[in-house]
Amino acid sequence: MKKGSINTFIFTLKFGRPYAGSLLLVSLLNLIAVSADLSFLYLLKKLIDTGFTSQHISLLQRMVLYALGILILRSILVYSSGYLSTYINRLMTNNIQNTLYSKIQTLSLDFHTENSTGNILTLIYYHTDEMLKLITSMSGTLAKELFRIPALILFLFYLHHELTLFSLLVLPPAFFSVRLFKNRITRTTQKSYDVLSKLYTKTERTLSHMETIKTFDKEREEIEYFKNLNDEMLSRSIQVYKASALSGPVIQMLKMLGITILVFLGTLEVSNGDLSMGGLTTFLASTYYFYGGLSSITDWYLSLIASLVSAEKVIDVLKTEPSILSPTNGKILDKFENEIILKDISFRYPSSKTNVLKKISFCIKKGKTLAITGPSGSGKSTLIKLLLRLYDPFNGTILVDGHTHTDINLSSLRKLYGVAPQDPGIFQDSIAEAISYGKLLPLDEIQKAAKIAGAHDFIIQLSKGYDSLIGERSVKLSGGEKQRLSLARAILLNPEILILDEALSSIDAPMEKAILQRISFHRRNKTTILISHRLKSITHSDCIILIEQGSILHEGSHQKLMTDSNRYREWYETFV
């Protein structure tokens, strides 16, 4: 194996450390089963050499009983080791899946934007299982064969030296055949995994957007696309099978050729009196077991290649460090006391070369309402992501009550905010659970937040009210209803700073006005940030910032901007 593969192999073995005792027990059971095989072979020789004569009938009966006992013991051992191995594999898979999922949750937003959902699901549910087969197969197949093969070779030498040396001649061509197919298996396995990830991604995306597909009458196109992708997966899988299966017939041919020649040579040894019939029969049976062990080792090694490809993918994620880290001993902010200052903020997304924000500077005062408006794509929502520290600016500084953004404990920073985004992201729970989002809160508090968000009236019209279950992806709710639930979820937090990022875009203007009035009343002396295209809904704000192409054009109150900003006045007169 190459150095990288060896490192991956060693890293993977660490996941078996908590189960070392159980894995050793599996190995021990397999070793006892191999000992039972060898004992049976020895008994077979004695049984045949003793002969089926009347004077030896009692001895033969005992030997048959011994052989039967050995076979029963072996069956129990094989079942026990197989069951225990499968059980340990599921425990380890569960553990690594939990570890991987926890790691993915801690990674920064850029990881999730660069990796499709299908790719992540493939990692969690497929590659972890393939990866850990490596460990259980070591305590099973590898441990057993590493004991069985040398033991059988010694036993064969005990039976007949010259024939044993001849039987070993199959080893060089067997190893050469495995080496020959190794690189091809690695390439084809990697390609098949890439297609599998695409298949998962395509399935997840289409099932998540069935309404769009049906609206545009694209069922046939999507079926055809999936069929082509699935056919490609089939083709890749067949290529992997062909690459790995080619070694099987080669090993089988070598095995049968060796056995055939050994039958001929062994018969000559028996006719010359140098080997008993029992010895020849046992030798051939032992050689067959020996060659079977070689086949098992070959299969294990080829499956190891696929396991290592999966392991590399999993380990790459586990070794990935978040680009956004909470500082050690970071400042804990329980309250927002004074102001947030953005100084000369410039930012571009990791996958882009174009700046989304260019030298942005402004101040957010405690207890005030700040509105941000501007054309789509001007960087308004990006500013919110920077405030939440989902990303860090590559130039400039953000200060919260005098503390540099990067010096503040990340969890405490984000707890200052409650965000209602344009895409609400409502989880599949009851209405009450969707609003409380994992917190056990009294129903009256949930209802209060829902009333402020304008959601209470439609909720109580549902058959089970707040206990009504939301369908997958909230398909039972309209866009405006989802947004109001999302807003209620943010309001329920009673955050120091409430952010509404186009949070009411699917709600009609009169209802939006009523909701904003209730928010203003219930959040007196608290800070609110509004992002909206509807200029009429932000005219009450203490300060309005007009952003275009990533830069601030103007800022001030509505009255000031109507007087001093031609661009804002044009916008207002166009849309209001």
Six-digit token pair at 530?
């509004």
β-strand partners of 418: 498
pLDDT of residue 408: 95
pLDDT of residue 54: 45
Radius of gyration of the chain (CA): 35
Strands of 186-281 (E only): list them.
none
Long-range interactions of 171-178: CB distance < 8 A, separation 24+: 171/294, 173/250, 173/254, 174/250, 174/251, 174/254, 174/294, 174/298, 177/246, 177/247, 177/250, 177/251, 178/247, 178/298, 178/301, 178/302
The pTM is what?
0.77
- Kind of pairing, strands 527-531 and 403-404? unpaired
- Kind of pairing, strands 369-373 and 527-531? parallel
End-to-end CA distance of the chain: 69
Nearest to 568 by CA among 576, 110, 97, 41: 576
At CA 220, angle to CA 214 and CA 224, rounded to 5? 135
Residue entry with tokens 């939990």? 98
User: CA 460 to CA 443: how far, in whole Å?
Assistant: 13
User: CA 550 to CA 377: how far, in whole Å?
Assistant: 8
pLDDT of residue 571: 81
| DSSP code string of 505-557 | TTS-HHHHHHHHHHHHHHTTTSEEEEE-S-GGGGTT-SEEEEEETTEEEEEE-
User: CA 137 to CA 303: how far, in whole Å?
Assistant: 9
Is residue 265 within 8 A of residue 166, CB to CB? The reply is: yes
Give buried/exposed letters for 541-569 (b at 16+ CB in 10 A, else e): bebbbbbbebebbbbbebeebeeebeebe
SS3 content of the chain, % helix, strand, coil (to 5): 70, 10, 20
User: CA 538 to CA 132: how far, in whole Å?
Assistant: 56
Is residue 345 within 8 A of residue 396, CB to CB? The reply is: yes
User: CA 91 to CA 85: how far, in whole Å?
Assistant: 10
Supply φ then ψ for residue 119, to 5 degrees.
-65, -40
Please list, in sequence order, all residues whose beta carbon lies within 8 angstroms of the beta carbon of residue 242, skipping any fewer than 6 positions away: none
Strands of 180-287 (E only): list them.
none
Nearest to 232 by CA among 267, 199, 260, 268: 199
pLDDT of residue 146: 81
What is the helix (H) or strand (E) element at residue 400, kind and residue range? Answer: strand 395-400
The mean pLDDT values, 10 residues at a time, for the chain of 576 residues are 69 81 83 81 74 60 77 84 83 88 90 83 86 76 80 86 86 76 73 80 79 79 86 80 67 80 85 82 85 81 80 89 90 92 92 88 93 88 93 93 94 93 81 84 91 92 85 68 91 93 84 89 90 86 91 91 87 75
pLDDT of residue 102: 92
Looking at residue 349, its amino acid is Y
pLDDT of residue 246: 64
